[in-house]
Structure 1
Amino acid sequence: MTFKKFFTQLLVGVSLLGSATLAHADDQFTLGRTILLEHGNLAAKIPVPACRYTNAIKVKAERDVRLRKVVVHFQNGEKQTVKFYRDLDKNEKTAWRYFGFRRCVTSLDVYGNSERTTGGIRVYGRKKD
C-alpha cells in the first residue's frame, strides 16, 4: 500500500514538473488586440489594463494590413515609436523590436490601414530578456 501511494505521488509530481516546463517554453504574451480600419488615419488604441513588463514587441496581422507604426506608452510617461512601414499578410508576424531593457507598458497606439474593411492586429510582449 505504501509503495502505491509513493508511486502515485511521484507520478503526480513529475507530471506537474513537466507542465511547469511547458508553461515557460513560450515566453511571449498578448499585450492587446485591435482592429485597423480601411481608411484609418487615426490611431487604434490598445489600453493595457495592468502594467505589463516587457523588453520587446511583435505584431501579428489577423488579416492583410499595411502597418505604419506602433507608439508604446510607458508607466513613467515616456513614449517610444516603433516604425514598421510594411505590408503584412494574413497571420504574418513581424520580428521582435527591442526597447533595450524591460519597461512597464501601459498602452499602445497602432497606426495603419487594412486591405479590406477591417483588419485585426495582435501585439505581443516578451516575458524574458
Structure 2
Amino acid sequence: MSLNSIWRIASFSRVLFGTLLLVVASACHASDDQFTLGRTILLGIGDHGANIPMVACRQTKYIKVKAERDLTLDRIVVTYGSNRTKTIKFDRNMRADKETEWKSLGSRVCVKRLEVYGNAEGSKAGVKVFGRK
C-alpha cells in the first residue's frame, strides 16, 4: 500500500464520519422540536386556575398537555404579548401519562404565563404543558 492510497482512505473515512455526524445531529434536532413550558399541580376541587409563571417569555405556536395522574382538564388561559390572553378549551378526562393533541395558538406568540383549569380525580394531579414552535 502506498502512502497516497492510505491518505485517500483516511480522507474518505473523515468525510464519511463528518456526514454521519451531520445526519444524526439533524435527526436529533428534528425530533427535539417540543419543549416544556412548565408544570403545575391541579387540586381535587376548585374554580381557580393553577398558574405557571415564566421568567422569560417563550415563542410558541402550539401547546399540548400531559397528565401525570388522572384528571379532568377544562381549559388553559395563555397570557402573551402585552397582557393579551387566549383561552384554549380541552373539556376532557385524561388518564395518567396521557397527552392531548397539539392545539394551535393561531400564530407564534411570546407566552408569558399559563393558567391551567381543571380538577384532579384524587387529591392532586401533576400537569406538564409543552410548547412547539
Normalised TM-score (structure 2): 0.84
Structure 2 unaligned blocks of 5 or more: 1-5
> Take 1:57 and 1:100, find their aligned partners in 2: how far apart are those partners?
11
Secondary structure of residue in 1 paired with 2:107: strand
Secondary structure of residue in 2 paired with 1:92: coil
Q: Which deviates more, 78-87 or 9-18?
A: 9-18
Residue 19 in structure 1 maps to residue 24 in structure 2 = yes
Q: Which deviates more, 18-27 or 72-81?
A: 18-27
Give the match for residue 41 of structure 1: 47
Q: CA shift at 1:30, angstroms?
A: 1.2
- 1:44-55, aligned counterparts within 5 Å? 44-55=50-61
Amino acid at match of 1:107: R
Q: CA shift at 1:77, angstroms?
A: 1.4
User: Cα deviations across residues 40-64 of structure 1 (Å, max 9, x unaligned)?
Assistant: 3321111122221111111111110
Q: Rg larger in 1 or in 2?
A: 2
User: Cα deviations across residues 19-46 of structure 1 (Å, max 9, x unaligned)?
Assistant: 3222232222111111111123321111
> Take 2:101 and 2:111, find their aligned partners in 1: how far apart are those partners?
19
Q: Once superposed, what is the RMSD of the aligned Cα atoms?
A: 1.7
Q: CA shift at 1:97, angstroms?
A: 1.3
> Take 2:7 and 2:55, find their aligned partners in 1: how far apart are those partners?
49
Give the match for residue 95 of structure 1: 101
Structure 1 unaligned blocks of 5 or more: none
> Take 1:56 and 1:115, find their aligned partners in 2: how far apart are those partners?
26
Q: Which deviates more, 20-29 or 98-107?
A: 20-29
Decide which of 62, 71, 78 is 1:65's aligned counterpart. Answer: 71
User: Cα deviations across residues 53-90 of structure 1 (Å, max 9, x unaligned)?
Assistant: 11111111111001111000102210001111211111
Count matched residues.
Answer: 127
Structure 1: which 4+ aligned runs deviate by more than 6 Å? none
